Amino acid sequence: MTSVIEINVPIEEIKAREERVLKTKRFEQPDRTPVIPAINYRFLLPKIGVRFQDYYNDPEVMLRSQILGQKWLMENIQTDAYSITGAWVGGWTDFQNTTESSALGCPVMFPENDIPVVDESGWVHNDADLRRLEKIDFINSGLNGKQIEFRQAMMKIADKYPVRFKGGPIFYPGANPALTHTSHGPFTVSASLTSAVEMFTAMLERPDFARELMDIVTNKIIQWLDFCWEEEKLPDRSFAWTDDLSAYLSAPVWENVLLPYDLRLRQHFDWASMHMCGQTNHLLDIFTNKLKINELQGFSYQVNLDRMAKIMGGKVVLLGNVSPMLIASGTPAEVKAATLKVLEKLAPCGGLIIQDGNNIAPGTPSENINAMMEASKAYGQG
């Protein structure tokens, strides 16, 4: 008989977390401000003793590692995360931010001790390259094709990995593993295809080329997302995406050249969460009033909290801001102080979830991560 993987968190606690988070996302008053540190497998694999090369080459190792990684996280980190299925927290085809560029012809490197990265030297430079790009089978090429293979393999072995929260029912994270049904965004993916320098230059000097490239890329992204929704039988039209590199664009260029393509992604779904690293003070109005996003996840410690409260407060669910460098190398007291600042500025607006801004670094002390929850319990009461 297959052993059940027991996660030592009571099911009542899991349900309380879910209620707290969902209330927050509805701009209702939770019992306290939720805290969900952004902890990825770059952090978790060393914790459970799994080699990166094994994780990315074997779907069973990937599935088992995700479950054991989440078990470690939920038993060692103070978090309001309440799920172990779906992207970031359970059975999913995890090749990080490389799948779209890989499926469009960019090489991907798999370091021995780290997550995969795209070789962004670029190959799309002219009209002939654009025509080649249009012909690529985006669904079955590169790491998208590998995602499909890994998903099918995970489903075949799902019954080998039953999971249970303390006092709760058994479930199987591999039964319907998620494909990467997020996107790295029209601009950022396009920059992988041309090189970042050429893409930034094209936005100013060859805007027609930039627009055609992003149009092709956006069409491919939507094609893949529609495929994911059909394959996974997803129940709603909620979507999360990012366009990180575009934070370096001025607001006029962002709005005049890029907005139509990110807007097309946004309008393809009913509810949308956007992630954006970096200093984005100049883009907050566009995100709120032009893109009309529902959530901004992992916003940077560089963002001005007063400006964010004025533009986004009460309109957009907000997750982020506490510096990951401070969490990695500061003291628990310093992390608590930084968390308190976020609470004081944004909690009165509603819709706040405390998070780092963005992505907890490998080797970060647990007591520093947990200081965010300690601050919420002390100062974030409703």
**62 pLDDT exceeds 70?**
yes
Rounded Cα gap, residues 31 and 186, in angstroms: 39
238-268 tens-digit pLDDT: 999 999 999 999 999 999 999 999 999 999 9
Rg, Å, the chain Cα set:
21
Residue 189 near residue 245, CB atoms below 8 Å: no
Rounded Cα gap, residues 231 and 8, in angstroms: 32
323-362 tens-digit pLDDT: 999 999 999 999 999 999 999 999 999 999 999 998 999 9
Tell me how crowded residue 310 is: count the other CB atoms within 10 A of its CB.
Answer: 12
**Full 3-state SS string of 172-190:** CCCCCCECCCCECCHHHHH
Could you tell me which residues come within 8 angstroms of residue 248 by beta carbon, excluding any fewer than 6 positions away? Answer: 200, 278
Provide mean pLDDT across the span 157-183: 94
Token pair recorded at residue 83: 């799920």
Strands 108-109, 117-118: pairing kind: antiparallel
12-42 tens-digit pLDDT: 999 999 999 999 999 999 999 999 999 999 9
Residue 85 pLDDT: 56
If you ran DSSP here, which 8-state letter would residue 87 be given?
T
Share the mean pLDDT of the chain.
94
Burial class of 215 by CB neighbour count within 10 A (0 to 12, 13 to 18, 19+): middle
Residue 379 pLDDT: 78
**380 pLDDT exceeds 70?**
no
Residue 172 near residue 163, CB atoms below 8 Å: yes
Token pair recorded at residue 214: 């992003």
Residue 88 pLDDT: 42
Rounded Cα gap, residues 221 and 217, in angstroms: 6
**292 pLDDT exceeds 50?**
yes
Provide mean pLDDT across the span 106-119: 95
Q: Which CATH architecture has domain 5-379?
A: Alpha-Beta Barrel (3.20)
The runs of H, that is alpha helices, within the chain are 11-25, 41-48, 52-55, 59-76, 99-103, 127-135, 142-156, 186-194, 196-205, 207-232, 251-253, 259-267, 284-285, 305-312, 324-329, 332-346, 366-379
Token pair recorded at residue 362: 């490998």
Rounded Cα gap, residues 21 and 35, in angstroms: 9
138-155 tens-digit pLDDT: 999 999 999 999 999 999
Residue 87 pLDDT: 43
Rounded Cα gap, residues 2 and 272, in angstroms: 39
How far is Cα of residue 95 from the mean position of the Cα atoms in its chain? 12
